[in-house]
């Protein structure tokens, strides 16, 4: 068993952060912060006070870390119900920033930061980028969207805090992204994995060889992506692709990050306390077991979050990481408990469809699942974009591809579905996130 392995030499010293604290010291810090945060939430946020009172739970009951389990859960609907400012624990004059998540239905959710919260956010994003192999002297192209979305400014502050050079290019205008990447000597990029996939494709069309450029790291987050997609992007662009994790409700990006081992994401648990619960019973899952990730913020001032149900399915890795970080890891998130859909009585996760598509050689993961209801029967159409890599002038070759895709999905799901080969760029590209599922089952069908 390894204990504290010395971190690799780099200008930023991650060793001076809590990433490498001995467990007892970390837990001591966590408990102290938990007690302060719970008291603050109880005293300043009526929803938390009311819920804790219902459970006969007082701030002073937080005697040890496991007492977190006595606290009530918080869900996304709570943020909607208290829209816009109902969960704030700070006076607006102390709030220096507001962000909001894009609400596809109804109102967005709004989150707040004090100046101190922004410092915490910067700190965890510096640690994120350092874990992803970035350091002072790097030229970081930040292609996360700037604006109400937390990705852009979160990565921006982190990269500046690290001492790197930031190019705040934001998302979109892919040709310009590629030009900047070439001309500015970019060494790392921050964006969503689906947008980087788009950059890779476009660079190929433009005849630009990303492998020949200085870029060596991709810091990808804001949506789940598969290991096969990672392998493809790493090979096509000559980079190491790191998975980072975060959510608006907690802070934005900076909740957890992979390290050079690319084997699970270290949770910055001195600020975000992780639990894994069974999403049905809400009971804690034993260490190492799979369940829904629940997070409690330990130091957020403007908007503390108590046992927030992320809907993301993962498990905690308790074994020490060879990188030397002592903070625990979560496994990469492949699916969300609310991504699941039921078709003809079968539970399906989009990630299962993706795995099946990837099993068929040469298929890039640009796909979309469209659910419709025809004459009372649910239909699932998997639309897959044809790329130059597997397009053929022969009908038989394309039909064989189509059949292989259909049978791979049928084999995985135990369900016969329609597969459509579609032209490239017909599936909506997210500058932000890839929309994998379109559910039209409750729409009125056209007459």
Residues of the shown chain interacting with another protein in the complex, contacts defined by CB under 8 A = 205, 386-388, 391-395, 398-399, 402, 420-426
**Closer residue to another protein, CB minimum distance, 293 or 431:** 431
CB of 202 to another protein, least distance (A): 10
Q: Distance of CA 101 to CAs 45, 98, 115, 147, 246, Å?
A: 21, 10, 20, 10, 12
Q: Angle at the Cα of 119 (from 117 to 123), degrees rounded to 5?
A: 115
Distance of CA 333 to the CA centre of its chain: 8
Closest C-alpha to 79, from 313, 292, 284, 250: 250
**Closer residue to another protein, CB minimum distance, 100 or 398:** 398
CB of 385 to another protein, least distance (A): 9
What is the spatial distance between Cα 384 and Cα 369, in angstroms, rounded to a whole number? 9
**Closer residue to another protein, CB minimum distance, 5 or 179:** 179
What is the spatial distance between Cα 331 and Cα 89, in angstroms, rounded to a whole number? 32
CB of 396 to another protein, least distance (A): 8
CB of 232 to another protein, least distance (A): 18
**Closer residue to another protein, CB minimum distance, 38 or 386:** 386
**Closer residue to another protein, CB minimum distance, 284 or 424:** 424
CB of 14 to another protein, least distance (A): 44
Q: Does an H or E element contain 255, and which?
A: strand 252-258
**Closer residue to another protein, CB minimum distance, 198 or 300:** 198
CB of 9 to another protein, least distance (A): 44
**Closer residue to another protein, CB minimum distance, 1 or 395:** 395
First to last CA, the chain: 67
**Closer residue to another protein, CB minimum distance, 4 or 426:** 426
What is the spatial distance between Cα 70 and Cα 62, in angstroms, rounded to a whole number? 9
Closest C-alpha to 184, from 134, 240, 139, 238: 139
What is the spatial distance between Cα 263 and Cα 326, in angstroms, rounded to a whole number? 14
**Closer residue to another protein, CB minimum distance, 102 or 392:** 392
Closest C-alpha to 204, from 239, 175, 172: 175
Give residues with Cβ within 8 angstroms of 308, minimum separation 6: 73, 74, 75, 249, 250, 294, 295, 296, 297
What is the spatial distance between Cα 248 and Cα 108, in angstroms, rounded to a whole number? 11
CB of 399 to another protein, least distance (A): 7
CB of 85 to another protein, least distance (A): 44
Rg of the chain's alpha carbons, rounded to an integer?
Answer: 23
Closest C-alpha to 78, from 51, 59, 104: 51
Contact between residue 216 and residue 239 where contact means Cβ atoms under 8 Å apart = yes
Which two structure tokens, joined as six digits, stand for 61?
A: 């009951």
CB of 417 to another protein, least distance (A): 14
């Amino acid at each position: 068993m390894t204990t504290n392995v010395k971190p690799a030499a780099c200008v930023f010293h991650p060793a001076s952060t809590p990433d490498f604290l001995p467990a007892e010291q970390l837990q001591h810090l966590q408990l102290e912060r938990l007690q302060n945060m719970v008291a603050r939430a109880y005293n300043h946020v009526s929803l938390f006070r009311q819920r804790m009172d219902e459970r006969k739970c007082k701030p002073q009951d937080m005697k040890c870390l496991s007492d977190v389990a006595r606290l009530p859960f918080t869900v996304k609907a709570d943020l909607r119900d208290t829209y816009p400012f109902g969960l704030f624990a700070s006076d607006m004059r102390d709030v220096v920033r507001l962000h909001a998540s894009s609400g596809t239905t109804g109102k967005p959710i709004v989150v707040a930061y004090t100046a101190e919260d922004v410092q915490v956010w910067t700190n965890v994003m510096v640690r994120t980028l350092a874990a992803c192999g970035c350091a002072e002297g790097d030229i970081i192209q930040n292609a996360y969207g700037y604006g109400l979305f937390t990705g852009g400014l979160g990565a921006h502050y982190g990269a500046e805090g690290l001492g790197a050079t930031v190019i705040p290019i934001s998302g979109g205008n892919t040709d310009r992204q590629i030009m900047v990447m070439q001309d500015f000597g970019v060494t790392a990029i921050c964006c969503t994995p689906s947008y980087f996939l788009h950059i890779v494709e476009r660079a190929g069309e433009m005849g630009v060889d990303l492998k020949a450029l200085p870029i060596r790291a991709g810091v990808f987050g804001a949506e789940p992506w598969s290991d096969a997609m990672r392998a493809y992007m790493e090979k096509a662009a000559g980079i190491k692709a790191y998975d980072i994790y975060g959510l608006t409700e907690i802070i934005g990006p900076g909740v957890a990050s992979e390290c050079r081992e690319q084997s699970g994401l270290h949770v910055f648990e001195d600020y975000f306390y992780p639990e894994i619960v069974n999403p049905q019973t809400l009971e804690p899952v034993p260490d190492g077991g799979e369940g829904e990730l629940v997070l409690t913020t330990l130091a957020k001032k403007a908007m503390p979050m108590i046992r927030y149900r992320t809907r993301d399915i993962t498990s905690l890795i308790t074994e020490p990481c060879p990188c030397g970080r002592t903070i625990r890891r979560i496994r990469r998130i492949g699916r969300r408990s609310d991504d699941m859909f039921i078709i003809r009585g079968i539970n399906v996760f989009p990630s299962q469809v993706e795995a099946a598509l990837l099993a068929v050689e040469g298929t890039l993961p640009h796909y979309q699942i469209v659910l419709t209801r025809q004459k009372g029967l649910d239909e699932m159409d998997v639309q897959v974009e044809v790329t130059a890599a597997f397009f053929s002038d022969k009908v038989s070759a394309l039909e064989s591809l189509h059949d292989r895709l259909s049978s791979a999905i049928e084999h995985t799901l135990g369900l016969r579905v329609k597969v459509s080969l579609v032209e490239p760029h017909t599936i909506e590209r997210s500058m932000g996130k890839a929309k994998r599922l379109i559910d039209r089952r409750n729409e009125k069908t056209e007459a």
